[in-house]
Structure 1
Protein backbone atom coordinates (compact mmCIF):
# COMPACT_ATOMS: atom_id res chain seq x y z
CA UNK A 1 0.00 0.00 0.00
CA UNK A 2 1.36 3.43 -0.93
CA UNK A 3 0.62 6.20 1.52
CA UNK A 4 1.29 9.82 0.66
CA UNK A 5 0.61 11.62 3.93
CA UNK A 6 3.36 13.24 5.93
CA UNK A 7 3.58 15.84 8.68
CA UNK A 8 3.08 19.13 6.87
CA UNK A 9 3.10 22.85 7.52
CA UNK A 10 -0.45 23.54 6.43
CA UNK A 11 -2.81 23.98 9.38
CA UNK A 12 -4.41 27.10 10.75
CA UNK A 13 -1.77 27.23 13.50
CA UNK A 14 0.97 27.48 10.92
CA UNK A 15 -0.90 29.96 8.80
CA UNK A 16 -1.63 32.23 11.79
CA UNK A 17 1.93 32.08 13.06
CA UNK A 18 3.28 32.73 9.56
CA UNK A 19 1.80 36.22 9.87
CA UNK A 20 4.23 36.79 12.71
CA UNK A 21 7.22 35.68 10.65
CA UNK A 22 10.02 38.16 10.11
CA UNK A 23 10.81 36.74 6.69
CA UNK A 24 14.40 35.78 6.05
CA UNK A 25 15.66 32.35 5.12
CA UNK A 26 12.80 30.57 6.90
CA UNK A 27 10.42 31.84 4.24
CA UNK A 28 12.60 30.16 1.63
CA UNK A 29 12.59 26.93 3.67
CA UNK A 30 8.82 26.98 3.93
CA UNK A 31 8.32 27.67 0.22
CA UNK A 32 10.50 24.72 -0.79
CA UNK A 33 8.91 22.42 1.81
CA UNK A 34 5.39 23.26 0.64
CA UNK A 35 6.23 22.35 -2.94
CA UNK A 36 7.14 18.86 -1.73
CA UNK A 37 3.53 18.22 -0.72
CA UNK A 38 0.94 16.61 -2.91
CA UNK A 39 -1.98 18.65 -4.20
CA UNK A 40 -4.40 16.99 -1.79
CA UNK A 41 -2.19 17.95 1.17
CA UNK A 42 -1.81 21.63 0.37
CA UNK A 43 -2.92 24.20 -2.17
CA UNK A 44 0.79 24.96 -2.57
CA UNK A 45 1.70 21.34 -3.25
CA UNK A 46 3.08 20.48 -6.66
CA UNK A 47 3.14 16.68 -6.59
CA UNK A 48 0.35 14.43 -7.79
CA UNK A 49 -1.24 12.19 -5.18
CA UNK A 50 -0.23 8.55 -5.35
CA UNK A 51 -1.98 5.85 -3.37
CA UNK A 52 -4.47 6.65 -0.62
CA UNK A 53 -4.93 10.32 0.35
CA UNK A 54 -4.39 10.78 4.07
CA UNK A 55 -8.03 11.69 4.90
CA UNK A 56 -9.01 8.17 3.78
CA UNK A 57 -6.51 6.33 5.94
CA UNK A 58 -7.69 3.45 8.11
CA UNK A 59 -5.27 3.52 11.05
CA UNK A 60 -4.88 0.79 13.67
CA UNK A 61 -3.71 1.06 17.27
CA UNK A 62 -0.86 -1.36 16.54
CA UNK A 63 0.26 0.74 13.60
CA UNK A 64 -0.10 3.97 15.53
CA UNK A 65 2.02 2.60 18.37
CA UNK A 66 4.74 1.71 15.88
CA UNK A 67 4.61 5.27 14.62
CA UNK A 68 4.86 6.69 18.14
CA UNK A 69 7.78 4.44 19.11
CA UNK A 70 9.77 5.32 15.99
CA UNK A 71 8.92 9.01 16.35
CA UNK A 72 10.15 9.01 19.93
CA UNK A 73 13.46 7.50 18.83
CA UNK A 74 13.94 10.31 16.31
CA UNK A 75 13.15 13.00 18.88
CA UNK A 76 15.48 11.33 21.39
CA UNK A 77 18.21 11.41 18.77
CA UNK A 78 17.65 15.11 18.08
CA UNK A 79 17.84 15.91 21.79
CA UNK A 80 21.10 13.95 22.10
CA UNK A 81 22.61 15.72 19.10
CA UNK A 82 21.68 19.16 20.39
CA UNK A 83 22.94 18.41 23.90
CA UNK A 84 26.34 17.34 22.56
CA UNK A 85 26.62 19.78 19.68
CA UNK A 86 29.27 19.27 17.05
CA UNK A 87 28.62 22.80 15.80
CA UNK A 88 28.00 25.83 18.06
CA UNK A 89 24.86 26.92 16.19
CA UNK A 90 23.06 23.78 17.36
CA UNK A 91 22.87 25.30 20.84
CA UNK A 92 20.28 27.76 19.48
CA UNK A 93 17.77 24.90 19.20
CA UNK A 94 18.00 23.53 22.74
CA UNK A 95 14.97 23.89 25.01
CA UNK A 96 12.74 25.53 22.42
CA UNK A 97 9.54 24.08 23.85
CA UNK A 98 8.99 22.03 20.67
CA UNK A 99 10.76 18.94 22.05
CA UNK A 100 8.51 15.86 22.00
CA UNK A 101 10.43 12.93 23.51
CA UNK A 102 9.17 13.51 27.05
CA UNK A 103 5.57 13.80 25.88
CA UNK A 104 5.87 10.62 23.85
CA UNK A 105 7.22 8.80 26.90
CA UNK A 106 4.04 9.75 28.76
CA UNK A 107 1.83 8.61 25.86
CA UNK A 108 3.51 5.23 25.56
CA UNK A 109 3.18 4.73 29.32
CA UNK A 110 -0.55 5.46 29.02
CA UNK A 111 -0.98 2.90 26.24
CA UNK A 112 0.86 0.32 28.34
CA UNK A 113 -1.40 1.03 31.32
CA UNK A 114 -4.38 0.48 29.02
CA UNK A 115 -3.08 -3.00 28.27
CA UNK A 116 -1.52 -2.40 24.86
CA UNK A 117 1.74 -4.04 23.83
CA UNK A 118 4.46 -1.50 23.05
CA UNK A 119 6.25 -2.66 19.89
CA UNK A 120 9.96 -2.77 19.25
CA UNK A 121 11.67 0.01 17.36
CA UNK A 122 11.49 -0.55 13.60
CA UNK A 123 13.76 0.30 10.70
CA UNK A 124 12.14 3.62 9.66
CA UNK A 125 12.97 5.20 13.03
CA UNK A 126 16.36 3.51 13.23
CA UNK A 127 17.36 4.50 9.71
CA UNK A 128 16.27 8.11 10.10
CA UNK A 129 18.00 8.52 13.45
CA UNK A 130 21.25 7.05 12.14
CA UNK A 131 21.07 9.34 9.13
CA UNK A 132 20.57 12.59 11.04
CA UNK A 133 23.12 11.62 13.68
CA UNK A 134 25.80 11.12 11.04
CA UNK A 135 24.65 14.20 9.13
CA UNK A 136 24.88 16.38 12.22
CA UNK A 137 28.59 15.63 12.60
CA UNK A 138 29.59 16.98 9.20
CA UNK A 139 26.79 18.96 7.56
CA UNK A 140 25.06 21.54 9.80
CA UNK A 141 23.06 23.14 6.98
CA UNK A 142 21.47 19.84 5.97
CA UNK A 143 20.88 18.82 9.60
CA UNK A 144 19.10 22.09 10.41
CA UNK A 145 16.78 21.44 7.47
CA UNK A 146 15.62 18.32 9.32
CA UNK A 147 15.12 20.31 12.53
CA UNK A 148 12.82 22.67 10.66
CA UNK A 149 10.81 19.95 8.94
CA UNK A 150 10.42 17.71 12.00
CA UNK A 151 9.41 20.44 14.43
CA UNK A 152 7.22 22.48 12.10
CA UNK A 153 5.70 19.46 10.39
CA UNK A 154 4.49 18.03 13.68
CA UNK A 155 2.96 21.29 14.88
CA UNK A 156 0.89 21.55 11.70
CA UNK A 157 0.05 18.58 9.51
CA UNK A 158 1.06 16.25 12.31
CA UNK A 159 -1.70 17.70 14.46
CA UNK A 160 -4.26 17.21 11.70
CA UNK A 161 -3.32 13.57 11.36
CA UNK A 162 -3.25 13.14 15.13
CA UNK A 163 -6.83 14.40 15.41
CA UNK A 164 -7.99 12.10 12.63
CA UNK A 165 -6.32 9.08 14.21
CA UNK A 166 -7.67 9.93 17.65
CA UNK A 167 -11.22 10.21 16.34
CA UNK A 168 -10.97 6.88 14.56
CA UNK A 169 -9.27 4.64 17.11
CA UNK A 170 -8.85 6.46 20.47
CA UNK A 171 -12.36 7.79 21.14
CA UNK A 172 -11.11 11.32 20.73
CA UNK A 173 -8.36 11.16 23.37
CA UNK A 174 -5.77 13.89 22.96
CA UNK A 175 -2.27 12.58 23.42
CA UNK A 176 0.56 14.48 25.09
CA UNK A 177 2.36 14.34 21.73
CA UNK A 178 0.00 17.09 20.57
CA UNK A 179 0.27 19.36 23.61
CA UNK A 180 2.78 22.14 24.20
CA UNK A 181 3.61 24.26 27.23
CA UNK A 182 3.06 27.91 26.36
CA UNK A 183 1.74 29.68 23.28
CA UNK A 184 2.54 27.45 20.30
CA UNK A 185 2.59 30.20 17.63
CA UNK A 186 5.07 32.12 19.78
CA UNK A 187 7.23 29.02 20.28
CA UNK A 188 7.28 28.56 16.50
CA UNK A 189 8.14 32.20 15.93
CA UNK A 190 11.02 31.95 18.40
CA UNK A 191 12.46 29.03 16.43
CA UNK A 192 11.98 30.90 13.15
CA UNK A 193 13.99 33.76 14.58
CA UNK A 194 16.73 31.34 15.64
CA UNK A 195 16.78 29.73 12.19
CA UNK A 196 17.10 33.12 10.51
CA UNK A 197 19.84 34.12 12.93
CA UNK A 198 21.87 30.99 12.15
CA UNK A 199 21.30 31.20 8.39
CA UNK A 200 22.35 34.84 8.09
CA UNK A 201 25.98 33.72 8.29
CA UNK A 202 25.60 31.10 5.56
CA UNK A 203 26.72 31.61 2.00
CA UNK A 204 24.16 31.34 -0.80
CA UNK A 205 25.55 27.92 -1.68
CA UNK A 206 25.11 26.76 1.93
CA UNK A 207 21.52 28.01 1.95
CA UNK A 208 20.79 26.20 -1.30
CA UNK A 209 22.33 23.04 0.14
CA UNK A 210 20.00 23.28 3.13
CA UNK A 211 16.97 23.69 0.85
CA UNK A 212 18.00 20.70 -1.26
CA UNK A 213 17.87 18.47 1.83
CA UNK A 214 14.06 18.82 1.93
CA UNK A 215 13.57 15.82 -0.33
CA UNK A 216 15.38 13.52 2.10
CA UNK A 217 13.45 15.00 5.02
CA UNK A 218 10.20 14.04 3.35
CA UNK A 219 11.41 10.60 2.34
CA UNK A 220 12.34 9.63 5.90
CA UNK A 221 9.26 11.18 7.48
CA UNK A 222 6.93 9.45 5.03
CA UNK A 223 8.41 6.08 5.93
CA UNK A 224 7.66 6.70 9.61
CA UNK A 225 4.17 8.04 8.89
CA UNK A 226 3.35 4.94 6.86
CA UNK A 227 3.63 2.88 10.05
CA UNK A 228 0.24 4.24 11.14
CA UNK A 229 -1.50 2.05 8.59
CA UNK A 230 1.12 -0.72 8.44
Structure 2
Protein backbone atom coordinates (compact mmCIF):
# COMPACT_ATOMS: atom_id res chain seq x y z
CA UNK A 1 0.00 0.00 0.00
CA UNK A 2 1.39 3.37 -0.96
CA UNK A 3 1.16 6.58 0.99
CA UNK A 4 -2.36 7.85 1.57
CA UNK A 5 -4.07 11.12 0.79
CA UNK A 6 -2.09 14.29 1.43
CA UNK A 7 -1.54 17.73 -0.02
CA UNK A 8 0.34 17.59 -3.30
CA UNK A 9 4.06 18.15 -3.17
CA UNK A 10 4.48 18.45 -6.93
CA UNK A 11 7.31 16.99 -8.91
CA UNK A 12 7.93 13.40 -9.87
CA UNK A 13 6.87 12.01 -6.49
CA UNK A 14 3.28 12.87 -7.34
CA UNK A 15 3.59 10.77 -10.48
CA UNK A 16 4.95 7.84 -8.47
CA UNK A 17 2.16 8.16 -5.95
CA UNK A 18 -0.51 8.34 -8.65
CA UNK A 19 0.69 5.16 -10.35
CA UNK A 20 0.95 3.36 -7.01
CA UNK A 21 -2.53 4.35 -5.87
CA UNK A 22 -4.09 2.98 -9.06
CA UNK A 23 -2.61 -0.42 -8.24
CA UNK A 24 -4.56 -0.54 -4.98
CA UNK A 25 -7.90 -2.30 -4.72
CA UNK A 26 -11.00 -0.34 -3.75
CA UNK A 27 -10.91 -1.71 -0.21
CA UNK A 28 -7.33 -0.42 0.17
CA UNK A 29 -7.77 3.10 -1.17
CA UNK A 30 -10.41 5.34 -2.71
CA UNK A 31 -8.24 5.80 -5.77
CA UNK A 32 -7.73 2.06 -6.20
CA UNK A 33 -8.67 0.57 -9.56
CA UNK A 34 -7.88 -3.14 -9.15
CA UNK A 35 -10.37 -5.84 -8.24
CA UNK A 36 -9.90 -7.46 -4.82
CA UNK A 37 -8.44 -10.96 -4.86
CA UNK A 38 -9.44 -12.93 -1.78
CA UNK A 39 -10.37 -11.42 1.58
CA UNK A 40 -10.05 -7.65 2.10
CA UNK A 41 -7.13 -6.95 4.45
CA UNK A 42 -9.50 -5.66 7.15
CA UNK A 43 -10.90 -9.20 7.47
CA UNK A 44 -7.54 -10.96 7.61
CA UNK A 45 -6.90 -13.43 10.44
CA UNK A 46 -3.14 -13.22 11.02
CA UNK A 47 -1.19 -15.72 13.11
CA UNK A 48 1.82 -15.10 15.36
CA UNK A 49 3.94 -17.50 13.31
CA UNK A 50 2.89 -15.83 10.07
CA UNK A 51 3.48 -12.37 11.48
CA UNK A 52 6.99 -13.36 12.54
CA UNK A 53 7.68 -14.56 8.98
CA UNK A 54 6.46 -11.19 7.70
CA UNK A 55 8.69 -9.26 10.11
CA UNK A 56 11.77 -11.40 9.39
CA UNK A 57 11.38 -11.08 5.61
CA UNK A 58 10.68 -7.35 5.92
CA UNK A 59 13.87 -6.91 7.93
CA UNK A 60 15.86 -8.71 5.24
CA UNK A 61 14.56 -6.30 2.59
CA UNK A 62 15.24 -3.21 4.71
CA UNK A 63 18.74 -4.49 5.54
CA UNK A 64 19.37 -4.98 1.82
CA UNK A 65 18.20 -1.47 0.97
CA UNK A 66 20.45 -0.01 3.69
CA UNK A 67 23.47 -1.87 2.28
CA UNK A 68 22.68 -0.66 -1.25
CA UNK A 69 22.36 2.95 -0.12
CA UNK A 70 25.63 2.88 1.80
CA UNK A 71 27.53 1.15 -0.99
CA UNK A 72 26.06 3.67 -3.47
CA UNK A 73 26.86 2.17 -6.85
CA UNK A 74 25.18 5.33 -8.17
CA UNK A 75 25.87 8.68 -6.44
CA UNK A 76 22.17 9.53 -6.05
CA UNK A 77 21.70 6.60 -3.66
CA UNK A 78 23.69 8.48 -1.03
CA UNK A 79 20.88 11.08 -0.92
CA UNK A 80 18.68 8.52 0.82
CA UNK A 81 20.96 7.53 3.70
CA UNK A 82 19.92 8.37 7.25
CA UNK A 83 16.53 9.79 6.33
CA UNK A 84 14.88 8.69 9.57
CA UNK A 85 12.65 6.24 7.68
CA UNK A 86 15.05 3.30 8.23
CA UNK A 87 13.33 0.24 9.69
CA UNK A 88 15.91 -2.55 10.08
CA UNK A 89 17.09 -1.53 13.55
CA UNK A 90 13.50 -1.19 14.80
CA UNK A 91 12.64 -4.60 13.39
CA UNK A 92 15.64 -6.13 15.15
CA UNK A 93 14.25 -4.81 18.47
CA UNK A 94 10.83 -6.27 17.72
CA UNK A 95 12.22 -9.68 16.86
CA UNK A 96 14.22 -9.65 20.10
CA UNK A 97 10.99 -8.86 21.97
CA UNK A 98 9.27 -11.86 20.39
CA UNK A 99 12.19 -14.05 21.47
CA UNK A 100 11.81 -12.76 25.03
CA UNK A 101 8.14 -13.81 24.89
CA UNK A 102 9.23 -17.35 24.09
CA UNK A 103 8.59 -17.33 20.35
CA UNK A 104 10.97 -18.90 17.85
CA UNK A 105 12.13 -16.44 15.20
CA UNK A 106 12.35 -18.13 11.77
CA UNK A 107 14.92 -17.75 9.04
CA UNK A 108 13.98 -15.53 6.07
CA UNK A 109 11.66 -17.27 3.61
CA UNK A 110 11.34 -17.23 -0.16
CA UNK A 111 9.45 -13.90 -0.57
CA UNK A 112 12.02 -11.90 1.41
CA UNK A 113 15.01 -13.67 -0.11
CA UNK A 114 13.70 -13.29 -3.66
CA UNK A 115 12.92 -9.61 -3.23
CA UNK A 116 16.28 -8.85 -1.62
CA UNK A 117 18.17 -10.59 -4.42
CA UNK A 118 16.08 -8.80 -7.03
CA UNK A 119 16.64 -5.27 -5.72
CA UNK A 120 20.32 -5.98 -5.06
CA UNK A 121 20.87 -6.91 -8.71
CA UNK A 122 18.63 -4.10 -9.94
CA UNK A 123 20.52 -1.49 -7.94
CA UNK A 124 23.79 -2.25 -9.72
CA UNK A 125 22.55 -1.31 -13.18
CA UNK A 126 19.16 0.40 -12.98
CA UNK A 127 18.96 3.30 -10.51
CA UNK A 128 15.55 4.49 -11.70
CA UNK A 129 13.95 1.11 -11.02
CA UNK A 130 15.71 0.71 -7.68
CA UNK A 131 14.48 4.12 -6.52
CA UNK A 132 10.94 3.06 -7.45
CA UNK A 133 11.30 0.13 -5.04
CA UNK A 134 12.85 2.37 -2.37
CA UNK A 135 9.90 4.77 -2.59
CA UNK A 136 7.15 2.16 -2.60
CA UNK A 137 8.67 0.06 0.18
CA UNK A 138 9.22 2.91 2.63
CA UNK A 139 6.19 5.04 1.86
CA UNK A 140 3.76 2.11 1.81
CA UNK A 141 4.86 1.16 5.30
CA UNK A 142 4.10 4.64 6.65
CA UNK A 143 0.54 4.53 5.27
CA UNK A 144 -1.25 1.23 4.64
CA UNK A 145 1.44 -0.67 6.51
CA UNK A 146 0.69 1.23 9.70
CA UNK A 147 -3.04 0.56 9.37
CA UNK A 148 -2.42 -3.16 8.94
CA UNK A 149 0.03 -3.15 11.85
CA UNK A 150 -2.58 -1.60 14.13
CA UNK A 151 -5.17 -4.15 13.04
CA UNK A 152 -2.77 -7.05 13.62
CA UNK A 153 -1.78 -5.71 17.05
CA UNK A 154 -5.45 -5.60 18.07
CA UNK A 155 -6.03 -9.18 16.90
CA UNK A 156 -2.96 -11.04 18.15
CA UNK A 157 -0.66 -8.76 20.20
CA UNK A 158 -3.02 -7.29 22.80
CA UNK A 159 -2.64 -3.90 21.07
CA UNK A 160 1.15 -3.77 21.61
CA UNK A 161 2.71 -1.20 19.29
CA UNK A 162 5.87 -2.59 17.74
CA UNK A 163 8.99 -0.51 17.10
CA UNK A 164 8.43 -1.19 13.38
CA UNK A 165 5.62 1.37 13.55
CA UNK A 166 7.49 4.08 15.47
CA UNK A 167 9.71 6.85 14.09
CA UNK A 168 11.97 9.37 15.81
CA UNK A 169 10.69 12.84 15.12
CA UNK A 170 7.76 14.08 13.05
CA UNK A 171 6.96 11.40 10.47
CA UNK A 172 5.19 13.81 8.12
CA UNK A 173 8.31 15.99 8.03
CA UNK A 174 10.59 12.99 7.49
CA UNK A 175 8.44 11.95 4.55
CA UNK A 176 8.41 15.45 3.11
CA UNK A 177 12.20 15.62 3.32
CA UNK A 178 12.47 12.37 1.35
CA UNK A 179 9.91 13.54 -1.22
CA UNK A 180 12.06 16.61 -1.83
CA UNK A 181 15.16 14.45 -2.26
CA UNK A 182 13.32 12.17 -4.69
CA UNK A 183 12.15 15.14 -6.71
CA UNK A 184 15.66 16.61 -6.86
CA UNK A 185 17.14 13.32 -8.07
CA UNK A 186 14.41 12.93 -10.70
CA UNK A 187 15.09 16.42 -12.06
CA UNK A 188 18.19 14.94 -13.68
CA UNK A 189 16.23 12.15 -15.38
CA UNK A 190 14.89 12.17 -18.92
CA UNK A 191 11.21 11.51 -19.53
CA UNK A 192 12.15 7.98 -20.58
CA UNK A 193 14.00 7.51 -17.28
CA UNK A 194 10.94 8.63 -15.36
CA UNK A 195 8.62 6.36 -17.31
CA UNK A 196 11.01 3.47 -16.75
CA UNK A 197 10.88 4.13 -13.02
CA UNK A 198 7.07 4.20 -13.02
CA UNK A 199 6.89 0.94 -14.95
CA UNK A 200 8.63 -0.84 -12.06
CA UNK A 201 5.79 0.00 -9.63
CA UNK A 202 3.79 -3.15 -10.33
CA UNK A 203 6.78 -5.39 -9.55
CA UNK A 204 7.31 -3.53 -6.29
CA UNK A 205 3.68 -4.16 -5.35
CA UNK A 206 3.95 -7.84 -6.24
CA UNK A 207 7.09 -8.44 -4.15
CA UNK A 208 5.86 -6.44 -1.17
CA UNK A 209 2.44 -8.09 -1.40
CA UNK A 210 4.01 -11.56 -1.25
CA UNK A 211 5.81 -10.57 1.96
CA UNK A 212 2.68 -9.01 3.44
CA UNK A 213 0.65 -12.17 2.88
CA UNK A 214 3.14 -14.19 4.95
CA UNK A 215 1.33 -13.00 8.05
CA UNK A 216 -1.62 -15.22 7.07
CA UNK A 217 0.45 -18.41 6.87
TM-score range (shorter-chain normalised) is: over 0.9
What does 1:133-212 align with in structure 2 at a 5 Å threshold? 133-212=120-199
- Shift of residue 113, structure 1, vs aligned partner: 0.3
Q: TM-score, normalised by structure 1?
A: 0.93
**Cα RMSD for the two superposed structures:** 0.7
C-alpha distance in 2 between matches for 1:60 and 1:22: 38
Gaps of 5+ in 2: none
Gaps of 5+ in 1: 1-6
1:74 aligns with 2:38: no
C-alpha distance in 2 between matches for 1:8 and 1:71: 16
C-alpha distance in 2 between matches for 1:201 and 1:80: 24
Q: TM-score, normalised by structure 2?
A: 0.99
Corresponding residue number in structure 2 for 1:97? 84
- Shift of residue 50, structure 1, vs aligned partner: 1.2
Q: Is the 8 A contact 2:2 2:17 kept in 1?
A: no
Corresponding residue number in structure 2 for 1:8? 2
Corresponding residue number in structure 2 for 1:4? none
- 1:6-41 Cα offsets, whole Å, 9 max, x none, are x3322xxxx3xx32x530000000000000001111
Equivalent residues, number: 217
Corresponding residue number in structure 1 for 2:33? 46
Which runs of structure 1 show a deviation greater than 6 angstroms over 4 or more consecutive aligned residues?
none
Which among 23, 44, 66 is matched to residue 57 of structure 1?
44
